Amino acid sequence: MEHSLTLQFILCVIIHILTSGIAFSDDKSKSAKIEIDEENVVVLGGLFPVHSKGPSQEDRCGPMLLEKGIQRLEAMLYAIDRINNNTSYWQFKMSATVLDTCSSDSYALEQSLQFLHYSCGPNANISRKVAAVVGAANSVVSASVANIFRLFQIPQVSYASTSEELDDLYKYPYFFRVVPSDRFQVKVIYDILLEFGWTYVSMVASKGEYGENAVQNMQDLIRNSTHDGKFLQISLNFNS
């Protein structure tokens, strides 16, 4: 139920983006463009980690991911079905073209080229042209495909990517998300430490952008603290 409500909200956000002609940069000509086929159907793309990352370049997709992949995929299809059966949302129908990212940025980038296949070139086909993309889950994957979608002015709305890097509207002008940035998570932890007056904390963080940025943000908050020099010391442990 939680996944379906989240994906239904994302689809409502996409409807708003497409119908309001939101401009994503100072160039007002680069606003979202909605294209409807002759049957009044809007095609949405979907990027989901149906499989985990594979062990090698030859075997690029690993075991199937039930909760983070299959359930989210089914939630999107269910949300589309709910919207299509409720004419109060808007007058068009939705369909979906969904691709597996295999939890890999390079694989997802290759897969995403399929979204562009019917948008330009000799194979352009409005009945299969993707108006917007839902995804991806992993922040690195979202950042990777966002660079392609930006070039073709395709709106992208993520349901799980939280990296602070994606806050950069200049770099990712067509990227949206319905989850808060990691910097808010760190700020909440910092406020809890202040509230309880703790003066020492040990942070265990994962290696990579998510964990390392969280530690850096916490250190910056501590360094800039104005609480009479009474604030905490921090010890670090990066867990691979």
10 Å CB burial of residue 29 (0-12, 13-18, 19+) is exposed
The answer for 66, left when phi > 0, alpha when psi is -120 to 50, beta otherwise, is: alpha
Supply the Cα-derived Rg of the chain in whole angstroms: 20
Three-state DSSP state, 125:
coil
Alpha carbon separation from 224 to 34, 136, 212, 217, 235 (Å, rounded): 46, 34, 18, 11, 17
Pick the more confident residue, 221 or 103: 103
pLDDT at 234 exceeding the cut of 80: no
Question: Rounded mean pLDDT of the chain?
Answer: 81
The token duo for 75 is 């939630």
Q: Name the least confident of 61-75, 180-194, 207-221.
A: 207-221
